[in-house]
Amino acid sequence: MHIQKLTSVSPKPNINTKKFQQHTNDTFPNSSLSVCCGVLSSKYYNVNFKQKLNYNDFLCSVHRFHKNKSIKNIILSTISDKNNYIGSGFTADVYSIPNVENYLIRIERKYFSAQSLHESPIISETQNEFAPNFGQYIATNNQGLFITKKVSGESHSLPNWSEVIRNIENGTSELTKDQVKLIFDKIINLSQFPQKSFDELAKNIQKLNKYTDCEIDILNPNNLIVDHKTKSISIIDLWYRHSDNGSVEPFNGIDSMINLILDPFTYVEVFENLDKENKNQFLNSSEVIIKKIFSASQKAGLERTKDNAKIIYKDFDKRSKIDFALPAYEEFLSLLNL
């Protein structure tokens, strides 16, 4: 399967520009600096970072190290330098920005081009004061560029997960022993996180349901970010898919956590490639995680989202023209009696 075909998994966002404040200048005019470096309204306060994360703050952060250089040139130079590349999903590439700590650049491959960046204004997205930081974008050009909040921690699965899944889909390869061990170790490790780690994640997902209309992208387990130092679990990469694929409410809930943490696309294959002792440990650790998720979800008031997950996986198969995601999920549910 070619990457171009897979980019159809995530449709071009349908963004209501009436909601946004348009920045027609891509350099740093004095008026913008006086706003972004001054006192901001409390509506920009972010509950996770305990600081104001928004497009004005981003402009300020960039200006400190890139004086007299346009924001669009900074973006192009950033994504042209392979040292800034962090990783890729099915549809997008992500880059860090040198000397800018709290923001990332996300490029949707299907829609972005240097020409579209040059021709389209970068538009700021209003931030909800109650929504937790799930890596939401704070600005976009509506043509494949997204400037997003950064979430601390490391990705939960294989560094090249999307590429591995493409090969598994096509039957051209299987998981290697090292890949099986990496996924196994991550599940074992996460099962040892305290209950409060799962409680906090569940509370944040409920806030997401209450204060936004976003849907968690459950396809890629690397959308789960784990901070081993603070024992925190976060989610990145939100979308507005329900208007396109017929998702049903609640969009985010118990199965969002289960699927991102345990990954139905690789779970059964990992299990089958373990010896008997490790199979038991893998299942036991998975059960511990599931129990912690259910406990956290009960406290937060989250519901099962299995039906919505099936719609997402079915839609994935339809868009990629292959029968893979939904059968993998059904097998996953059967193995874990979910």
pLDDT at 258: 98
What letter does residue 129 receive in the DSSP assignment? T
The one-letter code for the residue type at 215 is E
Mean of the pLDDT values across residues 97-117? 92
- Chain position carrying tokens 């970010």: 225
195 or 8, higher pLDDT: 195
Query: For residue 250, what pLDDT is reported?
Result: 80
What is the model's pLDDT at position 240?
A: 62
Res 293 pLDDT > 60: yes
Question: 245: pLDDT confidence band, cut at 50, 70 and 90?
Answer: low
Cα–Cα distance between 143 and 140 in angstroms, integer?
Answer: 8
Choose between 210 and 185: higher pLDDT: 185
At 22, list the tokens.
């348009």
**Whether the predicted pLDDT of 18 surpasses 70:** no
Residue 96 token pair? 């860090």
Average pLDDT in the 14-30 region? 36
The length of the chain is 338
Question: Where in 186-319 does DSSP place strands (E)?
Answer: 215-216, 224-227, 232-235, 238-239
| 123-127 average pLDDT score | 84
Can you tell me the mean pLDDT for 94-118? 92
What phi, psi does 38 have (nearest 5°)? -95, -160
Q: What is the DSSP letter of 299?
A: H
What band does 241 get if pLDDT is binned at 50, 70 and 90? low
pLDDT for 120 equals: 93
Q: How confident is the model at residue 14 (pLDDT cuts 50, 70, 90)?
A: very low
- All structural domains of the chain with their residue ranges: 3-149, 154-335
- As a whole number, mean pLDDT of residues 137-157 equals 90
Report pLDDT for 39. 29
Q: Is pLDDT of 24 > 50?
A: no
In sequence order, which residues have a C-beta less than 8 Å from that of residue 162 and are 6 or more positions away? 6, 88, 89, 90, 220
Helix H segments across 19-88?
Answer: 30-36, 55-65, 71-80
* pTM of the predicted protein model: 0.74
Percent of the chain with pLDDT over 70: 82
Determine the average pLDDT of the residues in 257-267: 97
Measuring CA to CA, which residue among 267, 256, 13 is closest to residue 125? 13
Please report how many Cα atoms fall inside a 13 Å half-sphere around the Cα of residue 7, on the Cβ side: 15
Strand locations in the chain (E): 21-23, 45-46, 51-52, 85-88, 92-97, 100-108, 122-124, 137-140, 145-149, 154-155, 215-216, 224-227, 232-235, 238-239
Confidence of residue 66 (pLDDT cuts 50, 70, 90): confident
Average pLDDT, the chain: 82
Residue type present at position 334? S
